[in-house]
Amino acid sequence: MAHELHEKGLRLTPQRELVLSAVRSLGHATPEEVAEKVRSTHPGINLSTVYRNLETLENVGLVLHTHLGHGGATYHAAEELTHLHLVCSDCGAIGDAPIDAAANFVNTLSDDYGFKTDVTHFAIYGLCAKCAEKNDQKKRTDGKTK
């Protein structure tokens, strides 16, 4: 970590270490959640420091952010971003799928449109298996009662 920072003239501070280790231990996390985690052991750390450090750590390539919904970004340690996020529009559950599942899609976009897709940056949105089934049942019931 010190290496990546020093390469760009940046410094290794305790706050930076804490933010990075919070992101690593949380898996997916919003800035707010990172702040909460960091503060659970070091209450003095300011929210804006967390925001700034997430940005800095992203610039040096140690963390990445993904959009899972509404607006807020969620952060990941760079080395952990190895899966797609399947976000359920109904229950909000966040599922995973291997990046390979999108390999053909990515190739198609590259071959036909020259577009180099980063499939992890945005969530894949839809209905999880559970909610899809629930909706099917409801639809059948509605059909009968009408």
Partner DNA sequence: TAGGATCTTGCAAATTACTCGCAAGAACAA
Partner DNA sequence: TTGTTCTTGCGAGTAATTTGCAAGATCCTA
Residue numbers at the binding site for DNA (CB under 7 A) = 2, 5-6, 9-16, 30-32, 44-49, 51-53, 55-56, 71-73
List C-alpha distances in Å: 133 to 94, 101, 144: 17, 22, 17
The single-letter code of the amino acid at 66 is T
CA distance 57 to 40: 21
CA distance 106 to 93: 24
One of 6, 41, 125, 138 touching a second copy (CB under 8 A)? 125
CB of 142 to DNA, least distance (A): 21
* CB of 34 closer than 8 Å to CB of 75: yes
In the bound state with a second copy, the residue whose beta carbon lies nearer, of 43 and 71, is 71
CB of 133 to DNA, least distance (A): 29
CB of 28 to DNA, least distance (A): 13
One of 1, 2, 91, 129 touching a second copy (CB under 8 A)? 129
